[in-house]
């Protein structure tokens, strides 16, 4: 009973991310069809439409695709920040023993692909793409695991989610350090001062949603103008959301019991409507429930649907539309390098470091998981769609040819990793069941 209670939120998360993966796949196919249809001009025109606002002294005008990549994706990164904080405080990364295995796996999935990319790449103009194969797309991978059914144990899904979150944290640091340039440090100092205020309030357990939103918008603009990618603001703002509740469980129950008793004794209003006294008691219950919510978990729950069902599909629709033509220029070497690095680099890196952690006695395999299933998940981690495309846009800002080539490499590597990883997991899962 307790086990079911603990796993229920995670199972809901898997279901949500699985359907998000299906939407991502559909948005990608739609983008490819649209970009190569007779209406291709409308596809390009839509995402290049300039939008913005401003006054005589300040203005902010950008193409629609940048509002998506810099603005909507900041919400995506905000959600990643919430997930990272929750996992570190109360999740699969909150103790050394629990965190060791996914952390080792994530490090292998970062270090080996990095080395593999440098080994395969021999040109300075494409050297900046080393960060592309480092992140795993949790939505796509969980969708594949969901499709495999009962042959995949829940502990394997938890392991995948945990190391993908460590992956995301490392990707965020990489973007902040290596894919930001021309930094205006005074604007950074202003934004850090505002964040320090929010962190101080959070430490004291004080949280005002409207204040955080207003400060968040200001910090996002300051990051945008400073030269640091504005999506990093989303992660930093997430750390300012407290996880502690204002009221504990036993206090909630005692207060609810007292209010319910008063509610039962209160007379109804005309025509069986609630009286003023009963409305007041109902308001007290709503306030109690709101104080019982963890602000971080409540916000994470509310945002998950918006990010999974709207923001990520829109990102895929805007970025996956590669127009193919007879005379188009492509960098074949870059395509092969990224595809191979996603497939081979992730497979070797995650498998090697995972088994090394077990061999050294620092970690142990999750329950009901065999070594071949770890290899299958390692291959599946080569599905790097969302974050990989995001980094590709940052790595090759001056060359559309390199961006398109990188996207083709990402799609090819992700497709190969997804198919072969699913086959390995299916076969190894049957062995486990047998």
8 Å CB contact between 31 and 317: yes
- Among 360, 77, 383, residue whose Cα is nearest residue 238: 77
Res 3: pLDDT? 44
- Among 135, 32, 68, residue whose Cα is nearest residue 311: 68
Rounded mean pLDDT for each run of 10 residues along the chain, 434 residues in total: 45 66 89 93 93 72 91 91 85 78 92 95 93 87 81 83 85 86 87 95 86 94 88 91 70 67 68 66 64 77 88 92 82 95 96 92 83 93 91 91 94 94 86 49
Q: Which two tokens stand for residue 287?
A: 């306030």
Res 272: pLDDT? 62
Round to whole Å and give the CA distance between 61 and 291.
40
Res 354: pLDDT? 93
Res 268: pLDDT? 65
Res 417: pLDDT? 95
Handedness of CA 71, 175, 140, 165 (dihedral sign): negative
Q: Spell out the residues 6+ positions from residue 147 whose beta carbon is closer than 8 angstroms to its own.
A: 18, 422
Round to whole Å and give the CA distance between 380 and 423.
10
Res 60: pLDDT? 82
- What torsion do the CA atoms of 291, 297, 303, 305 make, to the nearest 10 degrees? -110
Res 243: pLDDT? 83
- CA dist 343 to 242, 326, 382, 419, Å? 38, 28, 5, 11
Res 78: pLDDT? 93
Please state the φ and ψ torsions of residue 166, each to the nearest 5 degrees. Answer: -65, -40
Res 4: pLDDT? 45
Place of tokens 């509002």: 67
Q: Taking the CB of residue 273, how many other CB atoms lie within 10 A of it?
A: 9
Res 249: pLDDT? 56
Res 305: pLDDT? 87
Res 107: pLDDT? 93
Give 397-403 contacts, CB < 8 A, sequence gap 24+: 399/125, 401/329, 401/330, 401/331, 402/125, 402/126, 402/129, 402/331, 402/334
Q: Spell out the residues 6+ positions from residue 125 whose beta carbon is closer than 8 angstroms to its own.
A: 399, 402
3-state DSSP assignment of residue 62: strand
8 Å CB contact between 208 and 171: no
């Amino acid at each position: 009973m307790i086990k079911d209670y603990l796993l229920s939120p995670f199972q809901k998360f898997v279901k949500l991310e699985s359907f998000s993966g299906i939407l991502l796949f559909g948005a990608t196919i739609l983008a490819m069809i649209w970009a190569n249809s007779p209406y291709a001009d409308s596809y390009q025109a839509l995402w290049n439409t300039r939008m913005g606002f401003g006054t005589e002294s300040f203005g902010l005008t950008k193409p629609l695709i940048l509002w998506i990549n810099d603005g909507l994706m900041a919400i995506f990164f905000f959600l990643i920040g919430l997930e990272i904080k929750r996992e570190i405080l109360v999740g699969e990364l909150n103790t050394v023993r629990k965190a060791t295995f996914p952390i080792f796996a994530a490090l292998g999935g970062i270090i080996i692909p990095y080395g593999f990319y440098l080994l395969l790449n021999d040109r300075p103009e494409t050297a900046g793409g080393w960060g592309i194969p480092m992140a795993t797309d949790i939505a796509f991978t969980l969708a594949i695991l969901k499709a495999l059914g009962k042959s995949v144990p829940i502990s394997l899904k938890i392991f995948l989610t945990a190391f993908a979150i460590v992956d995301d944290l490392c990707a965020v640091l990489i973007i902040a350090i290596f894919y930001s340039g021309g930094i205006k440090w005074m604007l950074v100092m202003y934004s850090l001062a505002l964040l320090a205020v929010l962190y101080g309030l959070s430490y004291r357990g004080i949280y005002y949603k409207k204040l955080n939103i207003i400060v968040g918008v200001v910090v996002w603009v300051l990051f945008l103008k400073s030269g640091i990618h504005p999506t990093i603001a989303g992660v930093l703002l997430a750390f300012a959301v407290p996880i502690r509740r204002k009221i504990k469980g036993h206090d909630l129950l005692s207060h609810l019991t007292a209010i319910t008793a008063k509610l039962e004794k209160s007379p109804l209003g005309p025509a069986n409507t609630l009286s003023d006294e009963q409305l007041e008691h109902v308001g007290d219950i709503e306030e109690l429930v709101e104080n019982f919510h963890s602000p971080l978990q409540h916000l994470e729950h509310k945002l998950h649907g918006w990010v999974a069902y709207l923001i990520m599909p829109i990102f895929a629709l805007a970025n996956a539309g590669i127009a193919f033509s007879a005379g188009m220029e492509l960098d074949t070497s870059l395509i092969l390098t990224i595809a191979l690095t996603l497939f081979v680099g992730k497979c070797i890196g995650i498998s090697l470091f995972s088994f090394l952690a077990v061999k050294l006695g620092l970690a142990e395999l999750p329950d009901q998981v065999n070594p071949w299933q770890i290899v299958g998940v390692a291959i599946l981690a080569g599905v790097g769609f969302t974050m990989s495309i995001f980094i590709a846009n940052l790595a090759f800002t001056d060359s559309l040819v390199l961006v398109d080539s990188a996207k083709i490499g990402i799609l090819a590597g992700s497709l190969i990793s997804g198919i072969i990883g699913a086959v390995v997991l299916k076969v190894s899962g049957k062995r486990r069941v047998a």
